[in-house]
Amino acid sequence: MSDYTKTEENDIDKEKRGQFGNRFLTDEKNVFQFNAWDNVEWDQELLNQAEEKIKINSSVLMSTDKAKQFEDNADDYWDKFYSIHENKFFKDRNWLFTEFPELLGNSGGESKNCEKFTILEVGCGVGNTIFPIIRSNSNSNLFVYGCDFSSSAIEILKNTAEYDETKCKAFVCDITDLKKNEFPIQQRTLDIIVMIFVLSAIKPELQLETVKNLVKLLKPGGKILFRDYGLYDLAQLRFKSGQCLEKNFYVRGDGTFVKFFTQDDVDRLFTESGLVKEQNIADKRLQINRGKQLKMYRVWIQAKYYKPKD
Ligand SMILES: C[S@@+](CC[C@H](N)C(=O)[O-])C[C@H]1O[C@@H](n2cnc3c(N)ncnc32)[C@H](O)[C@@H]1O
Q: Can you tell me the mean pLDDT for 206-214?
A: 97
CA 11 – CA 294 distance, rounded (Å): 16
H/E stretch holding 51 reads helix 44-57
Beta-carbon contacts of residue 265 (< 8 Å; ≥ 6 apart) = none
Q: What are 238-291's pLDDT values in tens digits?
A: 999 999 999 999 999 999 999 999 999 999 999 999 999 999 999 999 888 777
pLDDT band at residue 146 under the 50/70/90 scheme:
very high
How high is the pLDDT of residue 219? 97
User: Side chain identity at 232, as an amino acid letter?
Assistant: Y
Spacing, Cα 198 to ligand 1 middle (Å): 5
Ligand 1: residues with CB < 6 A are: 78, 90, 93, 123-125, 128-129, 148-150, 153, 174-176, 196-198, 201-202
H/E stretch holding 84 reads helix 74-85
Which ligand 1 atom sits nearest the alpha carbon of residue 78? 25
How high is the pLDDT of residue 89? 73
pLDDT band at residue 106 under the 50/70/90 scheme:
low
The CATH code belonging to domain 6-293+300-306 is: 3.40.50.150
% the chain with pLDDT above 90: 69
How high is the pLDDT of residue 109? 39
Closest Cα to atom 20 of ligand 1: 174
Closest Cα to atom 27 of ligand 1: 125
Measured over the CA atoms of residue 143, residue 147, residue 153 and residue 156, the dihedral's sign is positive
